[in-house]
Structure 1
């Protein structure tokens, strides 16, 4: 369990809440097992992942039609980027009058950079705003704060829960500085750079996360965030997990995909064509992988 989750659970106990933990595959013995437990135990706040929501959306699951979710008040989602369609699916098929709280941060800061602001509206595909005490901005390549375009997530001021050193580092804190502070050093900025691509929306104040900036692909010189591809593939019922990489080939970068399939499916030419077609329809032709391989049964690292 990540450290930040442990702290949140302890905080929940401190205010008198009862914690319900589920250990195991949330899809076993059937995909809507979590909702069966929510109904049975009267769960009020459900913590989940984008991958789980995308999977349910991909198979057309309709939890509200089968289970009584009247006590469910809030869903808190994290771990990876949830597509705008995922937001809409939750309100359409889970419950219309709940609070959907998408958050993003890091174990290394033991908290969030962006997340819930209960007095503001929820917009599809956006975290509601900066977290308390987090001076978050989006920097372009020249270390200028920008809005409405993909850019690097930075924090311009010390945060209450940020780490102050690495265990075993030297006296100059070389590893610590290299990990978080050196990226914009030569642009004259001493800021925490976390390694995520975000968009800060000027009209809503919300923040969209596009995945890791160190996982960006550049086929034909065009910058593509891997989350843009994962958001689409996770919605396919055949795919349990996936990984995309950039492969240097003939002077360019081509996208290569590895997929871990759900039980009962085979990566034949028809499924490869479906994956490519779906990615092309929901993103762009440049996002389509040139090659698709099936991952080994023991999963993707």
Structure 2
């Protein structure tokens, strides 16, 4: 394994010793990792890190000249990897397209040449509002090749939100498609184009990848992809040597805990973090086929694109949903593409595990490593994932971080002992801890996840709002990075995520962990089984909070009122017995499904607003958003408001 080789080179005997050394001497670790992974600089750096600006403004790999595209494409085109498959793309309707490293490099060179002809230069911003696709990868890499900055947005964004983001970022060029498919439905971009052209957004050109004869490219300020790329066949552009600290990506956080934040990443930071995690946590090599279900606007997309292509492996992209046309789809993708490294979100795993379907017909023998991120992975679902996908033979790399660091703060190592539901421990080179309200370390109790030292991929701030960045991460714990997650370290040293700090429910002066309440509901042994659950806070008349839960069950014929009443009381009793007798919910509501964002996460802040009568805002990036109406309705009944 890659991580075993690194340990052997440095005389390290155990995973614990490796974690300890990497987090105590971060300068040594990041320098050693760069050299061991084989990250190539056009000009070597003279200084690993400069902490003169403090944890929030540390500079990395000073004096070095680098480019992500050189490491992920250029160097592979000169060796045997040139003819290996780089990308395999599967559409919603099942069509498959593949490109080799040489073909991908040619596409990137040609688009970079077209961008350069359009006047794009270092530091310019190029935006895309696209589904995940081969074209989206080409746009991202062509942008980075020139030293421009890739701004990546979900194709499901609302016209109004897109306008706000583009005014804020001022990109030179915007790429969009005229339509995309997801879950058997077709979504059109007419309203996006109409909003952009009517609002006079200062963009030099909107490039439209036409899949229909829509006529959108005929609008003022627009060009078709074919028109924009005309005459670029066979052309190429130089891969720009860039300062290590040069900006590379602008990504928007999911906004599940508040307003989306535009975070800025650097060339070296993005590359080093992605290569470290894909290489050491997921043990990627050129022989692997890597697939993580993601959207181009979620940080997992650039993370997997950079990480997988760095190692010369094959990356699978999929534009649809994991449950269309049936929940077997994700298993069919693994079989069809012979995936060896697979990552998913816990909510989707819980949906599959509670479906009652038999997935044993599928050949998953190519899988060797499994991944999970985005939310806490409960013990029951962890065990099901291990058994059904991995036949109890594949390590589960359960890791967690965020858009703000383009990677994980905590994560499992493939060589370390595993415990169901645990995230292992600190990420390599990530000096994290769990502390109480006073910033003191705590064990065997839930605390706040913090980081005590800098790391290369830490965002260089929010776009046009550095003060907001400092206030969000460094104002609460006296100079520590306050991540906003709740975590717990047990007596054996295993780390567990317990949800978000702003999701905590406070009743009677006591804090209750919604993630534990949700896991307890899912573990209910009776019938009907619970496939999904969410716990939120709702204000009571005394200024405190009530515990409100939502559950989706696997029996839609469960409609008898008395039967439902007894069932809900059993659920409350189960929480009181197995979690905390004082955490019995005030209300439990059965709904047909829980809403999810495009990353597959349950947006609890949206649930709170909907139930408590607040504004729900833009729902364009929410799957099954019609469920929000059901939550609003039961909230109005609870608060005795007119429906």
Normalising by structure 1, we get a TM-score of 0.85
Q: Does 1:194 align with 2:522?
A: no
- Distance change (3 Å), C-alpha of 1:28 and 1:139: same
Greater Cα offset, 45-54 or 263-272: 263-272
Q: Does 1:174 align with 2:467?
A: yes
Q: Does 1:18 align with 2:311?
A: no
Q: What is the match of residue 518 of structure 2?
A: 230
Q: Does 1:88 align with 2:383?
A: yes
Tell me how far 1:279 sits from its aligned partner: 5.4
Looking at structure 1, the residues matched to 392 and 590 of structure 2 have their Cα atoms a distance apart, in angstroms, of: 38
Tell me how far 1:293 sits from its aligned partner: 4.3
Q: What is the match of residue 78 of structure 1?
A: 373
Q: What SS does structure 2 have at the residue aligned with 1:109? A: coil
Provide Cα deviations, 1:72-130, integer angstroms capped at 9, x if missing partner.
Answer: 11111111111112222223333121121111001111110011312111111211111
* Matched-pair contact (CA < 8 Å) for 2:535–2:550: yes
Greater Cα offset, 102-111 or 273-282: 273-282
Q: What SS does structure 1 have at the residue aligned with 2:318? A: coil
Normalising by structure 2, we get a TM-score of 0.42
Structure with the greater alpha carbon radius of gyration: 2
1:113 aligned to which of 402, 409, 415: 409
Greater Cα offset, 255-264 or 15-24: 255-264
Q: What is the match of residue 288 of structure 1?
A: 584
Q: What SS does structure 2 have at the residue aligned with 1:10? A: helix
Q: What SS does structure 2 have at the residue aligned with 1:223? A: strand
2:498 aligned to which of 199, 203, 210: 210
Q: Does 1:127 align with 2:419?
A: no
Provide Cα deviations, 1:114-158, integer angstroms capped at 9, x if missing partner.
Answer: 113121111112111111111100111221112221100010011
* Matched-pair contact (CA < 8 Å) for 2:535–2:547: no
* Matched-pair contact (CA < 8 Å) for 1:83–1:231: yes
Structure 1: 5+ residue stretches without partners = none
Q: What is the match of residue 139 of structure 1?
A: 435
Greater Cα offset, 71-80 or 267-276: 267-276
Q: What is the match of residue 541 of structure 2?
A: 249
2:393 aligned to which of 97, 100, 120: 97
* Matched-pair contact (CA < 8 Å) for 2:399–2:410: yes
* Matched-pair contact (CA < 8 Å) for 1:127–1:206: yes
* Matched-pair contact (CA < 8 Å) for 1:155–1:191: yes
Q: What is the match of residue 248 of structure 2?
A: none
Tell me how far 1:245 sits from its aligned partner: 2.2
Tell me how far 1:47 sits from its aligned partner: 1.0
Tell me how far 1:159 sits from its aligned partner: 1.5
Q: What SS does structure 2 have at the residue aligned with 1:218? A: strand
Looking at structure 1, the residues matched to 337 and 627 of structure 2 have their Cα atoms a distance apart, in angstroms, of: 32
* Matched-pair contact (CA < 8 Å) for 1:58–1:237: yes
* Matched-pair contact (CA < 8 Å) for 1:59–1:237: no
Provide Cα deviations, 1:243-293, integer angstroms capped at 9, x if missing partner.
Answer: 522322345421123456789467764446535533542433433321244
* Matched-pair contact (CA < 8 Å) for 1:211–1:225: yes
Q: What SS does structure 1 have at the residue aligned with 2:449? A: strand
- Distance change (3 Å), C-alpha of 1:258 and 1:91: closer
Q: What SS does structure 1 have at the residue aligned with 2:545? A: strand
* Matched-pair contact (CA < 8 Å) for 1:58–1:234: no
* Matched-pair contact (CA < 8 Å) for 1:241–1:261: no
Q: What SS does structure 2 have at the residue aligned with 1:137? A: strand
Tell me how far 1:44 sits from its aligned partner: 1.0
Looking at structure 1, the residues matched to 497 and 531 of structure 2 have their Cα atoms a distance apart, in angstroms, of: 22
- Distance change (3 Å), C-alpha of 1:109 and 1:279: farther
Aligned length: 292
Tell me how far 1:233 sits from its aligned partner: 4.5
* Matched-pair contact (CA < 8 Å) for 2:411–2:423: yes
Structure 2: 5+ residue stretches without partners = 1-296, 594-625, 630-643
- Distance change (3 Å), C-alpha of 1:283 and 1:277: farther
Q: What SS does structure 1 have at the residue aligned with 2:371? A: strand
